[in-house]
Amino acid sequence: MICVKTNQIFLTVCATLMLCLTFANVTWAGDDVVHKVAIHVDDNDPKRMNMALNNIKNLRKYYDSVGEKVQIELVAYGPGLHMLRADTSPVAERISVMSLEIEDLTFSACGNTHAAMSKKAGEAIKLLDEASMVPSGVVQLITLQEQGYAYIRP
Render pLDDT for 100-142 as a digit per residue (tens, 0 to 9).
999 999 999 999 999 999 999 999 999 999 999 999 999 999 9
Question: Which neighbouring-strand residues pair with 73?
Answer: 38, 106
Instruction: Say what the pTM is.
Output: 0.79
- Termini Cα distance of the chain: 70
Q: Is the pLDDT of residue 43 over 80?
A: yes
Q: Which three-class secondary structure state does DSSP give residue 147?
A: coil
Q: What is the bridge-based pairing of β-strands 150-152 and 131-134?
A: unpaired
Closest CA to 125 of 112, 114, 137, 111: 114
Residue range 78-96: mean pLDDT, rounded? 98
Fold annotation for 33-152: Hypothetical Protein Ychn; Chain: A, (3.40.1260)
Q: Which three-class secondary structure state does DSSP give residue 91?
A: coil
Q: What is the pLDDT of residue 14?
A: 42
Q: What is the pLDDT of residue 149?
A: 98
The answer to whether 138 touches 144, Cβ cutoff 8 Å, is: no
Instruction: Report the chain's mean pLDDT, rounded to a whole number.
Output: 87
The DSSP letter of residue 57 is: H
Any idea where the domains of the chain sit in the sequence?
1-32, 33-152
CA distance 145 to 106: 15
CA distance 115 to 126: 11
CA distance 138 to 128: 20
Residue range 32-39: mean pLDDT, rounded? 93
